[in-house]
């Protein structure tokens, strides 16, 4: 019988975690009674520096409910880092960990399937959304665009898989060897290898509270995903630069010929236009290079992903 830890990052989730712990707790007891998981299985709630009462609730649950544990990060480190903190804490105690959102958007009724796939010898089991009906058309569109771009950039991603997944202890230990600071877990997963399986589920609406991923965070997450896994933008710049050089050369020849044949009009517009254009391209190139240099800067410093403030385990 396996010990499963349910790792849940929570950021300002006071409105939802009570219900989440109740529903998930029921599920766990059911699984324990049927002998699917061991009595040492736990819900591990990671407080990602919430500003509301989230930690008070977690600490209260941890002291009063036998199967709940909590980890408090010293400040808000972001979803991916909170998840990593939870997985790294869980790996010393569990046989496998299932990561999920605090808002019950990930359907908990498929948990037995995750465990079955794990028992069949899969080290990573991906939860994959069957449809995106609960999303706004905008989120659906941007998500599809994102997967397409990532594919074009040569990044292997599992479509419609977010962070609802089971990882065996061995897979988490492998993950701990990835030292990168710009963390994009779902991009790292395929790099871990091992035998994997998929479980399909319906994603529900967030039942209370607001999304902690506003558009700004979503865009920065997507950009992180691209620039952390692909050097295609760097190469693209070289390509654009090359094409622009060829075009400028043609324009130069054209201007020269016009001058020699005597019908050159001092073209203010074309000169100003090209100055702006070239300037723009250069700035763009510098910007993309800067993105990568910024990443190198962060990696070189090798700062910790998170700092744990308090841990309540049992
Ligand atoms: N989250 C976190 N730190 C953050 C932002 C989000 O730990 O800085 C957690 C949040 O509490 C939730 C999960 O990450 O459990 C996913 O966030 P959310 O449900 O808001 O994202 P969405 O489902 O809207 O994409
Ligand atoms: Mg959510």
pTM: 0.80
Q: Name the strand (E) or helix (H) holding 215.
A: helix 215-229
Q: Which of the 8 DSSP states describes residue 99?
A: E
Residues 124, 216: Cα–Cα separation, whole Å? 30
What residues does 167 pair with on adjacent strands?
Answer: 97, 124
Q: Probe ligand 1: pick from 87, 107, 213, 215, max atoms within 8 Å of CB?
A: 213
Residue 59: CB atoms within 10 A of its CB come to 17
Q: Are 81 and 49 in contact (CB under 8 A)?
A: no
Residues 2, 118: Cα–Cα separation, whole Å? 10
Contacts of 224 (CB under 8 A, 6+ apart): 182, 184
Residues 149, 106: Cα–Cα separation, whole Å? 25
Residues with CB under 6 Å of ligand 1 are 9-11, 13, 48, 76, 78-79, 82, 101-103, 105, 206, 211-213
Residue 141: CB atoms within 10 A of its CB come to 12
Q: Which CATH number fits domain 4-229+305-312: 3.30.565.10, 3.40.190.10, 3.40.50.1220, 3.90.550.10?
A: 3.90.550.10
Per-residue pLDDT of the chain (314 residues; tens, 9 = 90+): 899 999 999 999 999 999 999 999 999 999 999 988 999 999 999 999 999 999 999 999 999 999 999 999 999 999 999 999 999 999 999 999 999 999 988 899 999 999 999 999 999 999 998 877 777 788 788 888 888 888 888 888 888 888 999 999 999 999 998 888 778 888 889 888 889 999 999 888 877 778 877 788 888 888 888 888 787 787 777 778 778 878 877 877 887 787 788 776 677 667 766 777 787 778 778 878 888 887 887 777 777 788 888 888 88
Nearest alpha carbon to residue 90 among 42, 155, 52, 136: 42
Q: Probe ligand 1: pick from 79, 134, 163, 164, max atoms within 8 Å of CB?
A: 79
Contacts of 114 (CB under 8 A, 6+ apart): 98, 125, 127, 166, 199
Cα 79 to ligand 1 centre (Å) = 6
Ligand nearest to the CA of 135: 1
């Amino acid at each position: 019988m396996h010990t499963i830890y349910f790792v849940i990052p929570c950021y300002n989730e006071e409105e939802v975690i009570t219900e989440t712990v109740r529903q998930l707790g029921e599920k766990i007891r059911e699984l324990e009674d049927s002998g699917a998981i061991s009595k040492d299985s736990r819900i591990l709630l990671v407080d990602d520096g919430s500003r509301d009462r989230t930690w008070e609730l977690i600490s209260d649950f941890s002291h009063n409910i036998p199967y709940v544990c909590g980890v408090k990060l010293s400040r808000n480190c972001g979803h991916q880092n909170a998840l990593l903190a939870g997985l790294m804490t869980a790996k010393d105690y569990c046989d496998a960990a299932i990561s999920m959102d605090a808002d019950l958007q990930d359907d908990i009724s498929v948990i037995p399937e995750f465990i079955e796939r794990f028992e069949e010898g899969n080290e990573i089991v991906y939860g994959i959304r069957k449809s995106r009906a609960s999303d706004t058309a905008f989120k659906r569109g941007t998500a599809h665009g994102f997967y397409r771009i990532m594919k074009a950039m040569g990044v292997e991603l599992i479509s419609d898989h977010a962070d609802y997944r089971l990882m065996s202890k061995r897979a988490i230990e492998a993950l701990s060897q990835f030292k990168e600071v710009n963390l994009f877990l779902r991009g790292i997963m395929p790099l871990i290898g091992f035998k994997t399986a998929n479980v399909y589920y319906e994603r529900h609406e967030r039942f209370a509270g607001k999304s902690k991923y506003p558009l700004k965070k979503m865009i920065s997450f997507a950009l992180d995903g691209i620039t952390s896994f692909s050097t295609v933008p760097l190469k693209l710049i070289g390509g654009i630069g090359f094409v622009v050089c060829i075009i400028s050369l043609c324009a130069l020849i054209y201007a020269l010929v016009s001058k020699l044949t005597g019908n050159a009009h001092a073209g203010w517009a074309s000169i100003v236009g090209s100055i702006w254009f070239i300037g723009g391209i250069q700035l763009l190139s510098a910007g993309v290079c800067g993105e990568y240099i910024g990443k190198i800067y962060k990696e070189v410093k090798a700062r910790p992903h998170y700092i744990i403030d308090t841990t309540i385990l049992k």
